[in-house]
């Protein structure tokens, strides 16, 4: 592109020099009179034909919007050359008839007509900040060009003496045709200038427009001199130069490089003030001409009167188009605002209200409740195990399922109430018209969600847990956040009792069974977790052969002062959902490292400590520094710490997880894969992650319940781990027969209630009565 641009820039002075040489040769080497005139016509014919051929040749090599105007310009130049040839033949055949109008003379207007069409094609392709319908935009451009050209013609016509135009004895028809040429040039020149000023595209398009404008200026000067026809030989030479320079500059414009006009982006904003001001310039100019003319006692000529009426009519037409454009733009702005508001307040996936609209609506109904006592109810629904659907069928299927869920919820919720998707797999319903039927509507929601979904030939079942909040009349000054937290707490209380249920908030302002769990969890972890009821319990991991404890697993427990003892499955789920699970991991990690010395005293020797870490944390910043910092603060050997990767979620970035795990192992920390066999591509993680220990999920170790299948699975997993050099721990060992069966299969270590429940530090481990039987050698 740069090379082509430099080539075009170098061709311009060469072109100007060649034109100067041709003009000089006619001026000084050819005798004055008919011979010189014939010389100029022949040279103009050849230059125009060559320029037309260049335009068509370049057009044939392009496939963009720039092709059309080059074709039109090439055809116009060839037509102009053909008319020159016709004029030359007439000059020899009928020398005495050159002063009369001939139908062939109209052919000189073919070039400006086709150039005008080419400019309009280019104008339609140039982008605008505010797009308008193509035809109306081009009509406005033509009206503006005629108006501005008229504003320039009016003063010139008034100031130039009439006798200048009457020289030469031309007939009115010949004179009218001679006037049409410069007027057409002026209109096209104004169009090119308007495109430069108000439709500025890229640099390549700007260079093309500049060359076209220069070519039109050259044609205009020559046509004006021809109109004046003062008879001076210098003027004829200058006119001949313009007829040579115009085609040459058009050829250079066609050769100028550049992307397709339609593909250009706007380099500068359109000058709206100029676009509005220019159409009214002819009104002022015409008014000044009329005022000066009539004020000095003169009378307006017929042409001036017609010119004034034409300008006035065009201004009126221009104003009508402006009014229509304003109405169109106003309609578009209104539609755009409506669309933007819909996008701002609605979920793009389901089309339901989003969190912003939900919050706004909830604030409004709470304000109405405080003023008029109007009842309000809030239903908060969380889909059960929706991540399993995403992991099993893919996110695209999950998105389609969410849309189908939204449609079903809209079908059971009254039309006057609001259904919103708050994000992920969470939905909420604000009931202010049918608040009294909130419980009935909630059960309908559960019922429609229990019905299987048929998507792409798959039958997908999904359930939901719903929390219901109906403020009591004495509950004043409630906020949207408070109500949502209560609904969230009620929903988790329902999950605690079993999924697929609806729970009503009944905790009041002081807590209770449906206390505001997410909010209280965040408060507990924001300060000192131990002061907020968090503790670390330890469960032994024993060797099957002799029953010796070889390690302990550190487990978080929470006894909230308000909510009471919270089940670990509940608060861990809440923590993962609210992004607080990392704080729990760090608390357990630090406390376990701090207790390592006490544990060594209790068991009489240093033992390993297992600490759970959420799988997602392997892909996040801070895990390495937390682990190494805890080891350093409490002077614990890295080899004594085992980081268990809990498999409650799929690892989102396995490659990053591998890098983090590798660096931890290089530091001496060992890694364990927890709950192996419970899903989430366990074999893939076993293959990819640099783990040292595999902990079999309880669903794989129930060999005493279904011996044949369970033993076959365990035997296969144990063989794989043995070949990889991994230590295996069997979880869920609750009976002696199960322990003996796992030991018989070759599993070295076990963990479960048979060997002891999780207990706080310092409290003796209470094993099952069958522990000794389980510890017998097999």
Residues near 47 by beta carbon (within 8 Å), at least 6 away in sequence:
22, 244, 247, 248
Alpha-carbon span 71 to 532, nearest angstrom: 82
Alpha-carbon span 651 to 659, nearest angstrom: 13
Alpha-carbon span 219 to 212, nearest angstrom: 11
Give the length of the chain: 778
Parallel, antiparallel, or unpaired for β 377-384 and 463-469?
antiparallel
Nearest to 715 by CA among 725, 727, 699, 701: 701
* 439 catalytic per annotation: no
Nearest to 544 by CA among 282, 729, 377, 362: 729
Tokens of 495: 């999950």
CA distances from 567 to 324, 557, 675 (A): 68, 8, 19
Catalytic residue among 304, 553, 647, 731: 731
Question: Across the strands, what pairs with 101?
Answer: none
Alpha-carbon span 652 to 607, nearest angstrom: 32
Q: Is 421 helix (H, G, I), strand (E, B) or coil?
A: strand
Residue 239 near residue 42, CB atoms below 8 Å:
no
Tokens of 444: 């309908």
Q: Is 552 helix (H, G, I), strand (E, B) or coil?
A: strand
Q: Is the sign of the CA dihedral 211, 217, 220, 222 positive or negative?
A: negative
Residue 123 near residue 145, CB atoms below 8 Å:
no
Tokens of 534: 């968090």
Alpha-carbon span 402 to 409, nearest angstrom: 11
Residue 729 near residue 751, CB atoms below 8 Å:
yes
Burial of 31: CB neighbours in 10 Å, binned 0-12, 13-18, 19+: exposed
Alpha-carbon span 205 to 202, nearest angstrom: 5
Alpha-carbon span 743 to 750, nearest angstrom: 9
Chain position carrying tokens 């001496």: 668
Torsion (CA) 18, 22, 28, 34 in degrees, nearest 10: -170
Nearest to 673 by CA among 696, 645, 649, 648: 645
Alpha-carbon span 765 to 250, nearest angstrom: 97
Kindly state the DSSP code that residue 230 receives in the 8-state scheme: -
Alpha-carbon span 642 to 668, nearest angstrom: 10
Alpha-carbon span 247 to 234, nearest angstrom: 21
Kindly state the DSSP code that residue 621 receives in the 8-state scheme: T
Nearest to 726 by CA among 767, 695, 692, 700: 692
Alpha-carbon span 372 to 370, nearest angstrom: 6
Strands in 387-446 per DSSP E: 418-423, 426-431
Torsion (CA) 326, 329, 335, 337 in degrees, nearest 10: -100
Tokens of 70: 């080059």
Chain position carrying tokens 């004179």: 175
In angstroms and rounded to an integer, the radius of gyration of the C-alpha atoms of the chain is 44
Alpha-carbon span 2 to 273, nearest angstrom: 34
Question: Residues with catalytic annotation?
Answer: 731
């Amino acid at each position: 592109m740069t090379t082509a641009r430099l080539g075009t820039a170098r061709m311009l002075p060469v072109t100007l020099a060649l034109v100067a040489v041709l003009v000089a040769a006619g001026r000084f080497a050819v005798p004055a009179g008919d011979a010189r005139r014939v010389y100029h016509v022949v040279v103009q014919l050849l230059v125009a034909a060559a320029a037309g051929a260049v335009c068509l040749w370049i057009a044939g090599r392009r496939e963009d919007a720039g092709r059309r105007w080059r074709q039109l310009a090439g055809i116009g130049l060839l037509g102009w050359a053909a008319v020159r040839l016709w004029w030359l033949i007439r000059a020899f055949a009928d020398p005495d008839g050159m002063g009369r109008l001939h139908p062939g003379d109209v052919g000189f207007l073919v070039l400006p007509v086709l150039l005008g069409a080419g400019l309009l094609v280019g104008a339609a392709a140039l982008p605008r900040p505010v797009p308008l319908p193509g035809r109306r935009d081009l009509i406005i451009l033509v009206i503006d060009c005629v108006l501005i050209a008229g504003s320039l013609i009016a003063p010139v016509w008034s100031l130039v003496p009439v006798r200048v135009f009457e020289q030469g004895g031309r007939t009115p028809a010949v004179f009218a045709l001679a006037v049409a040429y410069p007027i057409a040039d002026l209109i096209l020149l104004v169009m090119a200038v308007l495109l430069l000023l108000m439709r500025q595209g890229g640099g390549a398009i700007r260079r093309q427009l500049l060359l076209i404008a220069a070519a039109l200026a050259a044609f205009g000067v020559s046509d004006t001199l021809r109109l004046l026809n003062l008879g001076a030989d210098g003027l004829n030479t200058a006119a001949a130069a313009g007829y040579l320079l115009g085609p040459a500059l058009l050829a250079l414009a066609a050769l100028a490089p550049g992307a397709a006009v339609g593909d250009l982006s706007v380099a500068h904003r359109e000058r709206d003030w100029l676009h509005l001001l220019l159409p009214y310039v002819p009104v002022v100019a015409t008014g000044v001409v009329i005022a000066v003319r009539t004020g000095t006692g003169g009378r307006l000529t017929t042409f001036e009167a017609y010119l004034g009426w034409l300008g006035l009519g065009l201004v009126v037409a221009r104003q009508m188009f402006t009014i229509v454009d304003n109405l169109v733009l106003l309609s578009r702005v209104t539609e755009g605002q409506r669309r933007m508001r819909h996008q701002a307040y609605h979920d793009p996936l389901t089309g339901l209200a989003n969190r912003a609209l939900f919050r706004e609506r909830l604030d409004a109904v709470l304000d109405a409740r405080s003023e008029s006592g109007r009842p309000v109810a809030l239903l908060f629904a969380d889909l059960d195990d929706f991540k399993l659907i995403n992991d099993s069928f893919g996110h695209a299927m999950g998105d389609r399922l969410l849309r189908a869920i939204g449609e079903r919820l809209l079908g059971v919720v009254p039309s006057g109430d609001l259904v919103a998707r708050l994000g992920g797999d969470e939905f909420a319903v604000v009931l202010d018209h049918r608040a009294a039927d909130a419980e009935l509507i909630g059960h309908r929601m559960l019922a429609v969600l229990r019905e299987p979904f048929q998507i792409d030939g798959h039958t997908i079942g999904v359930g939901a847990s719903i929390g219901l909040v109906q403020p009591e009349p004495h509950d004043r000054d409630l906020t949207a956040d408070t109500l949502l937290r209560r609904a969230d707490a009620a929903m988790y209380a329902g999950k605690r009792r079993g999924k697929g249920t609806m729970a009503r908030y009944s905790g009041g302002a002081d807590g209770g069974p449906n206390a505001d769990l997410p909010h209280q969890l965040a408060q507990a972890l924001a300060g000192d977790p131990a002061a907020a009821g968090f503790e670390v319990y330890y469960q032994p991991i024993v060797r099957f052969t002799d029953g010796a404890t070889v390690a302990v697993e550190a487990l978080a427990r929470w006894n909230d002062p308000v909510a009471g003892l919270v089940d670990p499955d509940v608060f861990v789920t809440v923590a993962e959902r609210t992004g607080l699970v990392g704080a729990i991991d760090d608390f357990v990690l630090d406390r376990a490292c701090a207790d390592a010395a006490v544990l060594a005293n209790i068991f009489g020797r240093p033992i390993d400590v297992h600490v759970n870490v959420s799988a997602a944390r392997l892909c996040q910043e801070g895990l390495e520094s937390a682990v190494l910092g805890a080891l350093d603060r409490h002077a614990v050997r890295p080899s004594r710490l085992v980081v268990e990767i809990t498999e409650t979620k799929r690892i989102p970035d396995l490659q990053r997880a591998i890098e983090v795990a590798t660096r931890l192992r290089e530091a001496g920390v060992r890694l364990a894969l927890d709950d192996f066999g419970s899903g989430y591509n366990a074999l893939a993680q076993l293959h990819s992650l640099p783990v040292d220990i595999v902990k079999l999920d309880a669903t794989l170790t129930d060999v005493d319940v279904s011996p044949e299948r369970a033993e076959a699975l365990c035997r296969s997993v144990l063989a794989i781990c043995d070949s990889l050099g991994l230590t295996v721990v069997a979880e869920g060992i609750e009976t002696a027969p199960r322990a003996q069966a796992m030991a018989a299969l070759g599993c070295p270590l076990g963990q479960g209630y048979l060997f002891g429940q999780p207990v706080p530090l310092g409290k003796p481990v209470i094993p099952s009565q069958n522990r000794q039987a389980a510890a017998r050698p097999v």
